[in-house]
Amino acid sequence: MSASSETKAEPGRRIQFAFTNEQEQFRSALRRFLNDKSPTTEVRRLMATAEGYDPAVWRQLSDELAIPGIHIPEQYGGAGFGMVELCIVTEELGRALFCGPYFSTAVLAANAILNAGSEAQKSNLLPAVASGARLATLAVTELNGNWDPAGIETVATPDAGGYRLDGVKSYVVDGHVADLLIVAARLPKTVGREGLALFTLSADANGVERRLLESMDPTRKLARIDFRGAHADLLGNLDTGAAPLIRTLDQAAIALANEMMGGAQAMLDSAVDYTKVRVQFGREIGSFQAIKHKCADMLLDVELSKSSAYCAAQACAVNDPEWPALACLAKAAASETYLHTAAECIQIHGGIGFTWDNDTHLWFKRAKSSEVFLGQPSYHRELLMQRWGV
């Protein structure tokens, strides 16, 4: 795939993709690191902690591989690559079920700053995010769990050279450990997508109360954040409205689709490996036609959804006009494929697949949480039809 995010796609040109040798080498280096630092024993240990990640490993990931800033321009302290490289990272993190504040910091917060911030704000905020020194997150959804920006109710009232935030955000990824909060809110007396903007404030500011939520998937921590007159600064300006937020959510959907494909591939590999060692009636179960067909169907589903995720990443990288619609397609397809593949993997493992000691349930829970994260498949299919004018 092309690494450039500046190239403009020609109208009507078919999106083509193929990973370069450099991208494959980067993937291999990242996979080796994760194999060493994120085995399932470590995943189980970290998911039982309140923080949900190991600061020492996060520092190594930032210093040695520089992945928090992989897609951030060099002028802001990043590596200067694009969406394709970012999605290579998320795919490998999903394969390893890495426990860390990457998606919240590098995918959600960094892209929000890039999309909405002024030059001064980017220069001020992004270097610490790119180096991994500052954890950040984007707070969008509220108690109803609605990912449609039109449903945002948190109010930002102009006050003393800034804004006063009042409202509740829920299901905020890594909201309990983030240093910087980027909050989607609306101006008073506005409805729908009118009057929406992004605002920044420190997580320890007055009027901010954070609480870790209990969730089905303990490998991805979620928090509730209450804002009671918290002082915040506008990110960018009010002229762009909801556009930067929508663009950020579309980019996040593509990154999440690739993350889910990493997890789905891990489940497919686990299922196939098990069929080669489990013996029943004196034969490996992989020799049974029913198991062969099940694995073949899983492979087909994974490869098709993986292609949609890769295509969306490449389309976004070259700024193809179709990329927002492809983001919806990739998210919907990946959500269903990941969950189905994880469930089939458990079935192939038989009775042991349902036990706590077997690791497959870790990916199954991530698959289920990812299905609703950023919007369910039905939501993205409806959005896809709207963008295609159907």
The residue among 13 and 212 whose pLDDT is bigger is: 212
| CB neighbourhood size of 92 (10 A) | 24
pLDDT > 70 in the chain, percent? 96
Q: Taking 50 as the threshold, does the pLDDT of residue 4 lie above it?
A: no
Nearest to 82 by CA among 25, 123, 23, 135: 23
* CATH superfamily of this structure's domain 137-235: Butyryl-CoA Dehydrogenase, subunit A, domain 2 (2.40.110.10)
In which residue ranges of the chain is CATH 2.40.110.10 found? 137-235
SS3 120: helix
Assign 11 a pLDDT band (cuts: 50, 70, 90): very low
In which residue ranges of the chain is CATH 1.10.540.10 found? 21-134
Average pLDDT rounded to a whole number, residues 286-302: 92
Q: Taking 70 as the threshold, does the pLDDT of residue 14 lie above it?
A: no
Contact 111, 251 (CB under 8 A): yes
Widest CA span of the chain, in angstroms? 77
Q: At 291, which helix (H) or strand (E)?
A: helix 289-317
Q: Which two tokens stand for residue 238?
A: 């009010």
DSSP assignment letter at 186:
E
Q: What is the model's pLDDT at position 136?
A: 98
Q: Out of 80-84, 221-225, 276-280, 361-365, pick the least confident.
A: 276-280
Assign 138 a pLDDT band (cuts: 50, 70, 90): very high
CATH number listed for the domain at residues 21-134: 1.10.540.10
Average pLDDT rounded to a whole number, residues 317-327: 95
Q: What is the model's pLDDT at position 15?
A: 63
Q: What is the model's pLDDT at position 280?
A: 83
Assign 16 a pLDDT band (cuts: 50, 70, 90): low
Q: At 172, which helix (H) or strand (E)?
A: strand 162-173
pLDDT of 47-70, one tens digit each?
999 999 999 999 999 999 999 999
Average pLDDT rounded to a whole number, residues 285-311: 93
pTM: 0.94
Average pLDDT rounded to a whole number, residues 232-239: 95
Assign 6 a pLDDT band (cuts: 50, 70, 90): very low
Average pLDDT rounded to a whole number, residues 30-38: 96
Nearest to 4 by CA among 122, 107, 112, 84: 84
Contact 216, 370 (CB under 8 A): no
Q: What is the model's pLDDT at position 12?
A: 45
CA distances, 231 to each of 164, 165, 202 (Å): 5, 6, 9
Q: Taking 80 as the threshold, does the pLDDT of residue 7 lie above it?
A: no
Q: Out of 10-24, 172-186, 216-230, 363-377, pick the least confident.
A: 10-24
Task: Give Cβ neighbours of residue 382 (< 8 Å, ≥ 6 apart).
Answer: none
Q: What is the model's pLDDT at position 8?
A: 47
Q: Taking 80 as the threshold, does the pLDDT of residue 38 lie above it?
A: yes
For 307-364, give the DSSP string: HHHHHHHHHHHTT-TTHHHHHHHHHHHHHHHHHHHHHHHHHHHGGGGGSTTSTHHHHH
| CB neighbourhood size of 215 (10 A) | 14
Q: Over the chain, what is the mean pLDDT? A: 93
Task: Could you please state the CATH topology (level 3) that the domain comprising 243-387 is classified under.
Answer: Butyryl-CoA Dehydrogenase, subunit A; domain 3 (1.20.140)
Q: Which two tokens stand for residue 272?
A: 């196939």
